[in-house]
Amino acid sequence: MKTPSTALWRASSPVLALLVAACAGVVQQPSAQPAVAQGKPLPSGPVAAAKMAQGVQAARAGQRQQGMTLLREAIALDPSLWEAAYDLGLLLANDGDLGGAEQELSSAGKRAPASEDVAMALAEVRRRRGESRRAARGLADFVRDHPGALDARTLAVTALREDGQVDEAIADAREVLLRKPGDATALAELALSYLAKGENQTASLLAKQALDANPNGAVAHRATGLIDLSNGDDAEAFSEFRKAAQADPHDTTSRINMGVVLLRAGGYAKAEQQYREILKVLPDDSDAHLGLAAALRGQADARHPQKLHEARLLLEGALVKSPHDASALFNLGVLLEDFLKEPGSAAPLFKRFLAEVPEGHPLRAEAERYLSAAAAHSEKTGAAP
């Protein structure tokens, strides 16, 4: 499983509403091997394993819906096949159906309580749903039973920090470092925890230790970039995110953050170039699609109205692909209500957004405000809400 990102920047401004979500992981080849029928029907276990292997192969070939269908068939044949539920959960997460992903990963966790990959994937989905506290609690339960699961404990540091439990995050990070001295990821997470306390100098020193431990590690450069952002040094932040992207060509978080720095600086044309470069390598990256839509939106004016329509097409395409994508729902709603002046079309999107995200989501109150404004407009004009 791909190690989850430990440095995630969420950006929002009156011009930009872009949520950057951590990737839950990539589909792994399950441990069970496919069976080959030799004339007679196979028992459900081997048949289920074969279905699972076919589902994974289909997903890797870009046929996600076919892959999910085959994995569901495998689970129906053999409910104890936790690898199929795990792979299905990852596919659903990557497709934006976080509720469905959580259900499948929870099922996999019950059947494979010792799997660190499952525990971490479930926590990542909960983080993406804005439920960092539940993510932290689940990881704490797992680590209590598996104290040597250092990757899970490190991810727990992230979830605790995001939930505002900074002192607990620091304690867990130090526990990781006691068991694994000099670990760059743990040092970077400890740096970000001190950054959350406002202790920027300590955070900078820890980030430097992370870089010393792994000078070519993307994780340390990402953390350093976030510290630079907090210090108001966007240029240095951009440089660190670029180093992280160079260290890990698949590090979409750093590339996305580079684009967000450009958006924050008003460099919409350069941000557009950045996101288009990401899409050349990773054409299905949903965050890059959202970033590109924001960059186009920022460039739109009376001379370039087509950029708003291109942004709309991007966001609508993202929702066709992932109907449950809360980020796309929110951003398309904002585009329609604030920029294209179509509050009636925006209202259903904000309703869907509110149905997807939990209470306490950072943009929930803003979505409710938009929905209220759309309702007031409908009442005033007599248009259907």
Phi, psi (5° rounding) for residue 291? -65, -40
Average pLDDT, stretch 324-336? 91
Give me the pLDDT at residue 251, please.
Answer: 74
Give me the pLDDT at residue 127, please.
Answer: 87
d(CA 225, CA 243): 9
Range from 34-43, 127-136, 237-246, 376-385 carrying the lowest mean pLDDT: 34-43
Please check the confidence at residue 23 and state whether its pLDDT lies above 70.
no
Give me the pLDDT at residue 179, please.
Answer: 95
Confidence of residue 32 (pLDDT cuts 50, 70, 90): very low
Give me the pLDDT at residue 360, please.
Answer: 80
Give me the pLDDT at residue 318, please.
Answer: 87
Give me the pLDDT at residue 246, please.
Answer: 87
The tens digit of pLDDT for each residue in 338-351 reads 999 999 999 999 99
Write out the H or E segment, with its range, that includes residue 62.
Answer: none
Please check the confidence at residue 255 and state whether its pLDDT lies above 90.
no
The tens digit of pLDDT for each residue in 52-79 reads 999 999 999 889 899 999 999 999 999 9
- Residue with the two structure tokens 């040597």: 148
* pTM of the predicted structure, to 2 decimals: 0.68
Mean pLDDT (the chain) is 83
The tens digit of pLDDT for each residue in 123-181 reads 999 987 778 899 999 999 999 999 999 999 999 999 999 888 999 999 999 999 999 99
- Please name which of 68, 100, 63 lies closest in space to residue 84, comparing C-alpha atoms: 68
The tens digit of pLDDT for each residue in 283-327 reads 767 788 899 999 999 998 767 789 999 999 999 998 987 788 888
Give me the pLDDT at residue 316, please.
Answer: 94
Residues 6 or more apart from 167 whose CB is under 8 A from it?
none
Give me the pLDDT at residue 229, please.
Answer: 86
Alpha carbon dihedral 91, 93, 98, 103, in 10-degree steps, equals 50
**Contact criterion met (CB below 8 Å) for 107 and 43:** no
What domains can you pick out in the chain, each with its CATH number? 1-32+45-112 (1.25.40.10), 266-385 (1.25.40.10)
